[in-house]
Amino acid sequence: MDKLLAIEGKLLRILGLAWGISCIGMILIFAIVRLFSVTIDALNNFPFFWYHWVILILVIGLMAYSEGYKGFQKSFSPRVAARARYLYMHPQPIMLLLAPLFLVGYININPCRQRNIFLLTLGIFILIFMVSFLAQPWRGIVDAGVVIGLTWGLVSLVFYCCKVMGSQPFEYSAEVPQPKTKN
């Protein structure tokens, strides 16, 4: 009976992580596909002059560095992977159910980081709203950079999630608040 409960517990942990990681991945894939179509529309249906190409290259470089490398590879993806490992090692039914929110850092994270995550999310929504008013080909140019950054982010997320499930130590913090000790 104890062996059956252990197998059940491990299965629930795996399902919780699969739910959380796949949800985050699907959101990224949805955004990549949607924005890629806007970029293709700009490239196929609007004339590009030399300055459009220069700005396209600059935007792609800027977004690859700031969103892909700095945002995803150096911050978001390792934190999500570390939180996935933490959730697997310290399963709680409610956290497994809310795994996407937990992994991203909306819940059960250090208050300062949580505030920053909510502010970043608000900023992203504001930028999405503002970019939606850009005329083509400018919107396609901006979206091309975002597609590069999000694709970099998806690849780094898969890389870190595979790495964290290995047997070697993972050097990134899950940034979970530590329980307060009573004196």
What is the tens place of the pLDDT at every residue in 140-167?
999 999 999 999 999 999 999 999 887 6
Tens-level pLDDT at each residue, the chain (183 residues): 556 556 667 888 899 999 999 999 999 999 999 999 999 999 999 999 999 999 999 999 999 999 999 999 999 999 999 999 999 988 888 999 999 999 999 999 999 999 999 999 999 999 999 999 999 999 999 999 999 999 999 999 999 999 988 767 778 888 888 766 655
- What is residue 107's predicted lDDT score, i.e. its pLDDT? 95
- What is residue 177's predicted lDDT score, i.e. its pLDDT? 83
- What is residue 183's predicted lDDT score, i.e. its pLDDT? 54
Write the CB contacts of 81 (distance below 8 Å, at least 6 apart in sequence): 157, 160, 161, 163, 164, 170, 172
The CA distance from 74 to 163, in Å, is: 14
Give the pTM.
0.89
Task: Render the burial of 36-59: b for 16+ CB within 10 Å, e for the rest.
Answer: bebbeebbeeeeeeeebeebbeeb
